[in-house]
């Protein structure tokens, strides 16, 4: 059998550094786009790149600042909303500029979500969530596509389209792999922190024993921690 052309090449990347390749790519090389709302989200995405690419010249009229790289076999371009600016309108502007500059076939909004706990689905801060269509839902429910009626009943007045078929196929493949091998999230995080040790304090998991879940109706007294919260209201 012939040898794989890349398998025997020595790894010359210093430990603790992401491989930064020369800018040999073009705008046409990037078909996956990632948009983050916050800098701490963008930093986490950049930290899991298998390879970071050099910069490219900007297209006229595109105000975004990009990071380029590779995740597995996919070349990705990453952008962030402007500092101190949030909402759907700025996100749309970032997405439109990205679509104008790159042939993006799959776009992802990647960021932090809140915990949505239930007895059926135990979702906590720090979990990674991937949505999929279910019943009348396309996979994501936009909060302003609805109205609150009497007796506290929320009625949806619109829906978002489901993701494209290639992404749904990828989700199905991921689920089946997790059934056989379990998820490899801890391995990815360990690798991320080994390459970026400065991130360990802020991005390392605090441990499940420190993950305290309070009743949804409990009004927290405030502050940066839950040290003064009533432990009698813990779930």
The per-residue pLDDT for 9 is: 41
What is the spatial distance between Cα 174 and Cα 34, in angstroms, rounded to a whole number? 19
Q: What is the largest CA-CA distance in the chain?
A: 71
Q: Count CB atoms within 10 A of the CB of residue 213.
A: 13
In a domain, 82, yes or no: yes
Task: Work out whether the CA dihedral 80, 30, 138, 177 comes out positive or negative.
Answer: negative
What is the spatial distance between Cα 124 and Cα 3, in angstroms, rounded to a whole number? 45
In a domain, 129, yes or no: no
In a domain, 41, yes or no: yes
Number of domains present in the structure of the chain: 1
CA neighbor of 44 nearest in space, from 53, 34, 54: 34
Q: Which residues contact 101 (CB under 8 A, 6 or more apart)?
A: 27, 58, 59, 62, 64
| pLDDT tens digit sequence for 70-111 | 999 999 999 999 999 988 899 999 999 999 999 999 999 898
Q: Count CB atoms within 10 A of the CB of residue 161.
A: 9
In a domain, 101, yes or no: yes
In a domain, 159, yes or no: no
What is the spatial distance between Cα 119 and Cα 99, in angstroms, rounded to a whole number? 40
The per-residue pLDDT for 21 is: 52
In a domain, 88, yes or no: yes
- Please give the average per-residue pLDDT across 128-150, as a whole number: 78
In a domain, 35, yes or no: yes
DSSP SS3 for 64:
coil
How many residues comprise the chain?
A: 235
Range in 5-14, 56-65, 134-143 with the lowest mean pLDDT: 5-14
DSSP letter assigned to residue 127:
-
Q: What is the CATH number of the domain that holds 82?
A: 3.40.50.1580
Q: In degrees rounded to 5, what are phi and psi of residue 76?
A: -125, 150
In a domain, 222, yes or no: no
- Supply the range of the domain harboring residue 55: 13-112
The per-residue pLDDT of the chain, averaged, comes to 83
| pLDDT tens digit sequence for 197-231 | 999 888 887 777 777 888 888 888 878 788 889 98
Q: Residue with structure tokens 């936009």? A: 142
Helix (H) or strand (E) holding 203: helix 200-203
The per-residue pLDDT for 20 is: 55
Tell me, yes or no, if the pTM score tops 0.85.
no
- Please give the average per-residue pLDDT across 3-7, as a whole number: 40
């Amino acid at each position: 059998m012939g040898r794989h052309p890349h398998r025997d090449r020595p790894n010359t990347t210093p430990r603790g550094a992401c491989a930064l390749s020369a800018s040999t790519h073009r705008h046409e090389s990037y078909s996956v786009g990632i948009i983050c709302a916050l800098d701490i989200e963008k930093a986490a995405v950049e930290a899991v790149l298998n390879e970071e690419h050099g910069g490219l010249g900007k297209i006229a009229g595109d105000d975004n600042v990009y990071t380029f790289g590779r995740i597995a076999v996919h070349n990705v371009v990453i952008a962030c909303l402007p500092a101190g600016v949030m909402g759907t309108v700025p996100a749309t502007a970032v997405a439109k500029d990205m679509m104008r500059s790159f042939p993006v076939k799959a776009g992802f909004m990647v960021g932090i979500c809140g915990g949505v706990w239930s007895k059926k689905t135990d979702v906590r801060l720090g979990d990674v969530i991937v949505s999929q269509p279910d019943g009348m839902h396309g996979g994501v429910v936009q909060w302003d596509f609805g109205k609150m009626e009497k007796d506290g009943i929320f009625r949806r007045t619109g829906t978002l389209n489901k993701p494209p078929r290639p992404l749904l196929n990828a989700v199905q493949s991921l689920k089946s792999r997790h059934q056989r091998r379990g998820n490899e999230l801890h391995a990815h995080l360990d690798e991320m922190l080994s390459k970026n040790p400065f991130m360990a304090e802020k991005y390392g998991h605090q441990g499940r024993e420190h993950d305290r879940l309070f009743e949804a109706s409990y009004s927290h007294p405030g502050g940066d921690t839950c040290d003064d919260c009533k432990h009698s209201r813990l779930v």
